[in-house]
Amino acid sequence: MISDKSTVVDELRRTIRDVNNFPKPGIVFKDVTPVLLDARLFARTVQLMAEPYRDARITRVVSIESRGFLFGAPIALELGAGLVPIRKPGKLPAATQRIEYALEYGTDALEMHHHAVQPGDRVMVVDDVLATGGTANAAAQLVGGTGAAVVGFSFLIELDFLKGRQRLQGRRVEALLHYA
């Protein structure tokens, strides 16, 4: 019986699969798909990711393509908030706003539908993994540009050694699992 947070975190640590050298040599990819196979563990994970924001009057959950959607959608339902997908360029059908951000080599971009987030919205940003923080920071800038408030972030996993949290400075950052 999965109940308290530390039990769930232990269970998650055993369940998340490390895939070495994916998608390129030297990367240890944190595969969260085994969590999705266990309905009870998945449900508790969603509840615990939502928990810190239960009293934060969140009106929009913004989730980042693509694994962010897996957690963002049920968290939005859990909090009674709207769900907003942020996607790679060219995926969203209607008019979008876009942000470009620097990668180790080159740049990448994210898009969000116009008017999906409005001034006055209170937004929580959700993704599966916080690594260097570049993606989450870009998402927050995209949301911030609309005049909405970015209340905080919720990740399933934080790779502490990459110090992504430092790029999100001044904002609330929650993660269930930490890898040092």
Query: Does 133 sit near ligand AMP (CB under 6 A)?
Result: yes
Query: Does 132 sit near ligand AMP (CB under 6 A)?
Result: yes
- Token pair listed for 79: 């909090």
Tell me if the bond preceding 23 is cis, omega within 30° of 0.
Answer: yes
Minimum distance of ligand AMP from residue 57's CB (angstroms)? 26
Assess whether 111 carries a catalytic annotation: no
Enter the DSSP assignment of 55.
T
Assess whether 104 carries a catalytic annotation: yes
Out of 44, 60, 67, 167, the active site residue is 67
Q: How far apart are CA 168 and CA 90, in angstroms?
A: 26
- Token pair listed for 4: 């308290």
Bridge partners of residue 130, in order along the sequence = 158
Q: How far apart are CA 96 and CA 91, in angstroms?
A: 10
From the list 74, 85, 152, 164, which residue makes contact with ligand AMP (rule: CB under 6 A)?
164
Q: Which is nearer to ligand AMP, 6 or 24 (CB)?
A: 24
From the list 2, 11, 29, 178, which residue makes contact with ligand AMP (rule: CB under 6 A)?
29
Within 93-161, residue ranges assigned H as helices are 134-144
From the list 62, 76, 126, 129, which residue makes contact with ligand AMP (rule: CB under 6 A)?
129
Which residue stretch of 39-47, 118-126, 129-137, 142-150 sits at the interface with ligand AMP (rule: CB under 6 A)? Answer: 129-137
Give the per-residue contact string, 80-99, with ligand AMP (x = CB under 6 A; - = no): --------------------
CB 175 within 8 A of CB 145: no
Within the chain, residue ranges assigned H as helices are 5-15, 33-36, 39-50, 67-79, 134-144
Contacts to ligand AMP by CB under 6 A: 27-30, 64, 67, 127-136, 164
Catalytic amino acids?
67, 104
